[in-house]
Structure 1
Amino acid sequence: MSKVTDESGIMQAIIQERYGSAEVLEFRAVKKPTPQPDEVLIKVHAAGVDRGTWHLMEGKPYLLRIFGYGLRRPKVTIPGHDVAGIVEAVGTEVTKFNVGDVVFGTCRGSFAEYAVSKAPLLALMPAKLTFDQAAALPTSGVTALKALRDAGKLVSGQSVLIIGASGGVGSLAVQIATAAGAQVTGVCSTRGLELVRSLGAESVIDYTQQNIGEAAGYDLILDIAGGRSLSELRRALKSSGTLVIVGTESGGNLTGGIGRSLRAALLSPWLSQRLTGLIAFNTEPALQAISELVENGAIVPSVERSYPLAEASEAVRHLAEGRTLGKVVVSVVRGVNHGMSRTVEVIPERGIL
């Protein structure tokens, strides 16, 4: 376990000063951040690893650089967005949290011993979760929720096909859709079949053995994995069904999967089917909804593997291989679970979504 060695404001962190593969990530001692008036300083216990972190590490698709992440080198030099930890200090304008609160959410630079975040991007961490589990939730959980609830307009009884069901977003989407009363079919590789079934999917398609074109008549398809043409996905939809393209996987170096989402949006008005893309961002209501799903027992994050902070580059490399079951996390303070009791408001008798 790495520790701040003195009171001079120095911490250990992963630093990225150029774009490239995982080799660009370096473990260094750097200055501890100071929260602005509207920010919270978090002592990081765990940080989630997601596809967005990998894209920003490589600087691809290049459209990300144009969007303001840095043309030649990353503007934010400490990677990582998802975080779980304990509030160390609060800015003068923050009233939502107090020092010592156990929180999770998104921030700038979670691959470090300390990180800062805007208060609306954080929530109290569900007491039943470990820090590793909580760090696996924010980006993937919010994306899965918004894909099903907001973009997909999911209602109970509908048939849902989730492509990429064994990954970080997909494993949570299977649980959320199942809890909402949907009939869920997951698509994954052979090694993910057992996991996806255990999460509640009624049936699972092994894409190494069966083409999804052999299945048809779904009310809603979530394509998280990418790599399939719009025509192939449309053939698996009902004539009145909805396709939600999640994230920016596949495609070229310039636009990545964003290009496919744009084509879907342009084509959709001329079809009886509804085609849409989704790039989800964390919001306070969405994070609170995820917390409620955890407290109600609807979702449990699946953490395949955790790495110490000094080995964060290996965590990103493992994710980039595309064989992760559930989530990968960076465990900054290892061997410490949450286990703190607190009063939790139970939301009575209302729909999951």
Structure 2
Amino acid sequence: MKALAVVTPSLFEVIDEKNKHLMEIDDLKIPLALVEGNAPEFDPESDIFKNSVLVQKKSFSLNYRDLGIMEMAWNYLKDKEVETYYPIGSDFSGYVIKVGKDVTRFSIGDLVIGDCAFPDFKEGVNPGIPSNHSSREFEVYNQLKLCKVPDYISAEDAGALSIGTQTSMSMLKKGAIKKGNNVLVTSITSNTSFFLLNTLWGEDCNVYGLSYSGENIQKVKDHFPFIKEVFSVSENNIPKDILFDVVFDAFSDTYLEYLIPCLNFNARYVTCGIFKQSSHKMINSDGVNLSALIVGLMMKNISLIGNCLGSTQDLVEGLQNYRENKMFIDTVFTEENSISDFISRSYNLNKDKFGKVVFVYENKN
């Protein structure tokens, strides 16, 4: 069984160059590698696995949240002298290869992805992302933590969809867009914003984008022709005569304070994350003037709405959207490629990425 993992220094030393990468996160250098391990045991007749299925992964992708998982795992592993590892990964697709005796939702051969439904509990199953180890080629899941993939979505594309689709659909509903609203999507070249824009096809509103640097936005404008204009924080070029009714923001610690003067009365500001997630960034970040921030929100009756993932229905409806509006995959990597190239491309170190980056296992299903 293969997996992409944070590894101990001793294990990193003996792995081939093609299969390893030194990930720099602030002042840390974290060793990652494509490793071999043991597949999990699964007895379909056992009561332990009666509501579970064994999934053989076809593809997986990395997310911004995985950076925090890497740091956590490295802090645990860095001083260990043994050769061991911690698998990472949040999004995946895979085929069901075994089912427990009480499983009713899936059959052997079904293509599935994770159901990250949050915050509702389902019959005792914890809410949220099914696994922090989803690059593992084989993994056991409770049937309630999976969703069947429609036949119009490929296994390669499906490995990038769960978190972004579930999050963006939930945010769209919370934004409560009305006809003619001015809608702003921040960090326009990020993966999260790509998912958000994909939900806005056909919405009767005026969609604008915001980039911090103003770089590499032409591909976004070409792919989403309904975007009226993309503005830049570095150029501070948002026109004074445009006020936004809805903002969808993946990095509120970057944009919220800056955008308050640009919001209309009764605006909805929906955010699903922060940029400064590493411990180094949190310790060294500049604080905001909370009193001034709250006054700015109150003076315009602005609703600040937090969003974490979404419901099962959000995921199902979001997947239906891809029947017409195909997910754009930037690059597909396989085991023949350098794992360093996959990781670097995933986190946009090449600066020209557009869309998700997917790793595909060369197994036969």
TMscore range, shorter length: 0.7 to 0.9
| Aligned residues of 1:157 and 1:182 also touching (Cα < 8 A) | yes
Q: 1:115 matched to which residue of 2? A: 139
How much has 1:13 moved relative to structure 2? 1.8
Q: Work out which of the residue numbers 27, 31, 34 in structure 2 matches 1:24.
A: 31
Equivalent position amino acid for 1:136 in 2:
A
Letter of the 1:119 counterpart: Q
Structure 2: tracts of 5 or more residues without a match: 10-21, 25-29, 43-48, 79-83, 116-129
Uncovered stretches (5+) of structure 1, i.e. residues with no partner? 1-10, 60-68, 339-353
- Matches for 1:128-207 after TM superposition, within 5 Å: 128-150=152-174, 152-188=175-211, 189-207=214-232
Distance 1:165 1:210, change over 3 A: same
Q: Which residue of 2 aligns with 1:253?
A: 279
Question: Contact conserved, 1:105 with 1:287, CA < 8 A, in 2?
Answer: no
1-structure distance, mates of 2:257, 2:197: 24
Q: 2: CA distance between counterparts of 1:26 and 1:166?
A: 27
Q: Which residue, out of 84, 89, 92, partners 2:93?
A: 84
Pairing partner for 1:303 from 326, 329, 338: 329
**TM-score when normalising by structure 2:** 0.73
Identity %: 17
User: Which whole-Å deviations, capped at 9, do the CAs of 1:219-278 have from their partners, x for residues lacking one?
Assistant: 1111224563533211121121111222221366278599989969x9387441111332
In 2, the alpha carbon distance for the partners of 1:91 and 1:259 equals 51
Give the corresponding residue for 1:228: 254
The answer on whether the counterparts of 2:169 and 2:315 sit within 8 Å (CA) in structure 1 is: no
Q: Distance in 1 between matches of 2:282 and 2:52?
A: 33
CA deviation vs aligned residue, 1:53-96 (integer Å, no higher than 9, x gap): 1221123xxxxxxxxx8973599921112111211112233210
What is the CA distance between 1:18 and its match in structure 2? 6.0
Q: 1:40 aligns with which of 32, 36, 53?
A: 53
Query: Structure 1 residues 239, 259: closer, same or farther in 2, change over 3 A?
Result: farther
Q: Which whole-Å CA distance do the structure 2 matches of 1:105 and 1:171 have between them?
A: 19
What SS class does the counterpart of residue 128 from structure 1 fall into? Answer: coil
Return the alpha-carbon distance in structure 2 between the equivalents of residues 57 and 100 of structure 1: 32
Which amino acid in the other structure matches residue 313 of structure 2? P
Cα deviation, 1:167-213, whole Å, max 9, x if unaligned, reads 22111211212333332112244323233342243323152774254
CA distance in 1, matches of 2:289, 2:316: 30
Aligned to 2:302: 273
When the two structures are aligned, how many residues end up with a matched partner? 312
Tell me the distance in 2 between the aligned counterparts of 1:34 and 1:199. 45
Higher mean Cα deviation, 43-52 or 270-279?
A: 270-279
**Aligned 8 A contact 1:212 1:236 in 2:** no
Structure (1 or 2) with the larger CA radius of gyration: 2
RMSD of aligned Cα (Å): 3.5
1:211 and 2:232 correspond:
no
1:5-24 residue pairs with structure 2 within 5 A? Answer: 11-17=1-7, 21=23, 23-24=30-31
- Are the aligned partners of 1:18 and 1:73 in contact in 2 as well (CA < 8 Å)? yes
CA distance in 1, matches of 2:360, 2:23: 21
- Shift in alpha-carbon separation, 1:315–1:118, aligned structure 2, 3 A: farther
- Partner of residue 346, structure 1: none
TM superposition shift of 1:135:
1.4
Asked if residue 284 in structure 1 is aligned to residue 312 in structure 2, the reply is: yes
Residue 31 of structure 1 aligns to a residue in which SS? coil
TM-score (norm. length: structure 1): 0.75
Is the 8 Å Cα contact of residues 308 and 332 (structure 1) preserved in structure 2? yes
Matched, 1:326 2:355: yes
Q: Which residue identity lines up with residue 229 of structure 2 in the other structure?
A: V
